[in-house]
């Protein structure tokens, strides 16, 4: 089986199944039906995704001198890639497509590409100039966005709960980072290695948004996907004085609490690790633990989080074992901090302390 055949069966979605299940249970008939259709579509290849992830890492394509971004319109079908809207150099003007969802997809793909190139000298998804491809208007009110191993796919959302997936920079960054992880660490999408896979996407999705906004670690909100929730949902969620979001790296478990989505189940400490078999061993739930570790490391280090904490995490990726546990990854980030900053024990200590605060040792 070729890497492209394997990747074609991959689907790493931004809306986790536990949220869709809550909407099915709590929503009005139209909301429940839409969530059920989305969940069934996602579930149809969820097991295949886990199986494919144990195959060898994909091979890089030949080096491409000019990275292109191509946008398709699926016209509310589920037949990828759809009708071509535009294909243009990623660096340059956004082509005139006359479609806000398509324009946003192009701009956010470009911002993600520019982030990895400027900060880590990583050129596109595979570091060899892999073209960026996206389809907008996937499905009829499809409540999700995903990376399938070859391209980004954006639904429009039903409009009651979820909206505008292509317009969310941290969502686009999250999904494309799944591709970067596939070409570096190749983390198996199951249990702790799968939760690390999800966490790494949250980390860099947040950092891409922070760089775009010019925010330091202390200024950032550390929310993931707040802007894909509609104003109706935001109005319901009054538990905390912050917007509702899909996840909150600062305080896992408090991203949302409302009658439609239920209560955020993410733990922020190993004492509360969820040993569920659901969602490939809780990959979207237990990712809260390494998410909080990164937040703690970034805020302890201060300044722009992508410059030191982000560099440590990114530099660790190619060294990660495909079945890495939280403790193994923590130990690797501690060693990487020592390698990158040999004369700065305070940086090494900040990384070790961050993992210790979430109950993960840095000596695996």
Predicted confidence (pLDDT) per residue in 163-186, tens digit = 999 999 999 999 999 999 999 999
| Residue 8 predicted with pLDDT over 90 | no
The CATH T-level fold of domain 191-357 is Neutral Protease; domain 2 (1.10.390)
Instruction: Please give the average per-residue pLDDT across 224-249, as a whole number.
Output: 93
The pLDDT value recorded for residue 56 is: 53
**Active-site entry in 175, 178, 182, 198:** 175
The pLDDT value recorded for residue 4 is: 33
| Residue 54 predicted with pLDDT over 50 | no
Percent of the chain surpassing pLDDT 90: 82
For 80-90, the pLDDT digits (tens) are 999 999 999 99
For 192-230, the pLDDT digits (tens) are 999 999 999 999 999 999 999 999 999 999 999 999 999
Residue 41 banded pLDDT, cuts 50, 70, 90: confident
The pLDDT value recorded for residue 61 is: 58
CA 237 to chain CA centroid, nearest Å:
23
12 versus 145: the higher-pLDDT residue is: 145
Q: Write down the H helix ranges in the chain.
A: 3-8, 17-26, 29-43, 46-52, 100-120, 169-183, 191-213, 231-236, 278-282, 288-301, 309-316, 326-340, 345-357
The pLDDT value recorded for residue 239 is: 72
The pLDDT value recorded for residue 238 is: 79
| Residue 360 predicted with pLDDT over 80 | yes
The string of DSSP codes covering 5-63 is HHHHT--EESS-HHHHHHHHHHS-HHHHHHHHHHHHHHHTTHHHHHHHTTSPPPPPPPP
DSSP 3-state assignment of 90?
Answer: coil
Q: Phi and psi dihedrals of 28, rounded to 5? A: -65, 165
9-13, 55-59, 191-195 — which one is most confidently predicted on average? 191-195
DSSP 3-state assignment of 221?
Answer: coil
| Residue 349 predicted with pLDDT over 50 | yes
**Of 239, 96, 77, whose CA–CA distance to 142 is shortest?**
77
For 265-323, the pLDDT digits (tens) are 999 999 999 999 999 999 999 999 999 999 999 999 999 999 999 999 999 999 999 99
| Residue 69 predicted with pLDDT over 70 | yes
Residue 129 banded pLDDT, cuts 50, 70, 90: very high
Q: Are strands 132-136 and 68-73 parallel, antiparallel or unpaired?
A: parallel
CA 218 to chain CA centroid, nearest Å:
21
The string of DSSP codes covering 167-213 is G-HHHHHHHHHHHHHHHTT---SSHHHHHHHHHHHHHHHHHHHHHHH
**Of 108, 200, 110, 119, whose CA–CA distance to 145 is shortest?**
108
Q: Does 182 qualify as catalytic in the annotation?
A: no
The pLDDT value recorded for residue 166 is: 97
The pLDDT value recorded for residue 241 is: 79
Residue 1 banded pLDDT, cuts 50, 70, 90: very low
The pLDDT value recorded for residue 364 is: 56
| Residue 60 predicted with pLDDT over 70 | no
Q: Phi and psi dihedrals of 348, rounded to 5? A: -60, -40
The pLDDT value recorded for residue 149 is: 86
The pLDDT value recorded for residue 39 is: 85
| Residue 261 predicted with pLDDT over 60 | yes
Q: Does 346 qualify as catalytic in the annotation?
A: no
């Amino acid at each position: 089986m070729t890497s492209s055949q394997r990747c074609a069966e991959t689907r790493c979605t931004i809306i986790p199944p536990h949220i869709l299940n809550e909407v099915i249970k709590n929503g009005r008939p139209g909301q429940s039906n839409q969530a059920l259709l989305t969940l069934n579509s996602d579930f149809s290849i969820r097991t295949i995704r886990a199986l494919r992830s144990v195959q060898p890492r994909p091979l890089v394509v030949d080096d491409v001198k000019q990275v292109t971004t191509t946008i398709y319109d699926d016209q509310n079908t589920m037949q990828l890639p759809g009708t071509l809207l535009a294909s243009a150099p990623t660096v340059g003007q956004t082509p005139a497509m006359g479609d806000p969802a398509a324009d946003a997809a192009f701009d956010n793909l470009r911002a993600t590409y520019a982030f990895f190139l400027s900060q880590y000298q990583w050129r596109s998804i595979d570091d060899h100039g892999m073209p960026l491809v996206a389809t907008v208007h996937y499905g009829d009110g499809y409540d999700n966005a995903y990376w399938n191993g070859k391209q980004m796919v954006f639904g429009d959302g039903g409009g009651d709960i979820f909206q505008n997936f292509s317009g969310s920079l941290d969502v686009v960054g999250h999904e494309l980072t799944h591709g970067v992880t596939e070409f570096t660490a190749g983390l198996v999408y199951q249990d702790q290695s799968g939760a690390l896979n999800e966490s790494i996407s949250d980390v860099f999705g947040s950092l891409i948004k922070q760089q775009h906004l010019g925010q330091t670690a202390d200024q950032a909100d550390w929310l993931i996907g707040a802007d894909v929730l509609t104003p109706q949902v935001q109005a319901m969620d009054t538990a905390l004085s912050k917007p509702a979001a899909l996840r909150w790296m600062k305080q896992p478990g408090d991203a949302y609490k409302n009658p439609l989505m239920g209560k955020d189940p993410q733990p922020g400490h190993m004492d509360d690790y969820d040993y569920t078999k659901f969602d490939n061993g809780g990959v979207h739930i237990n990712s809260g633990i390494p998410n909080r570790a990164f937040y703690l490391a970034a805020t302890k280090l201060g300044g722009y989080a992508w410059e030191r904490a982000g560099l440590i995490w990114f530099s660790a990726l190619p060294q990660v074992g495909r079945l890495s546990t939280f403790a193994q990854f923590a130990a690797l980030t501690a060693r990487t901090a020592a390698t990158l900053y040999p004369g700065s024990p305070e940086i090494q200590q900040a990384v070790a302390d961050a993992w210790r605060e979430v109950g993960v040792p840095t000596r695996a």
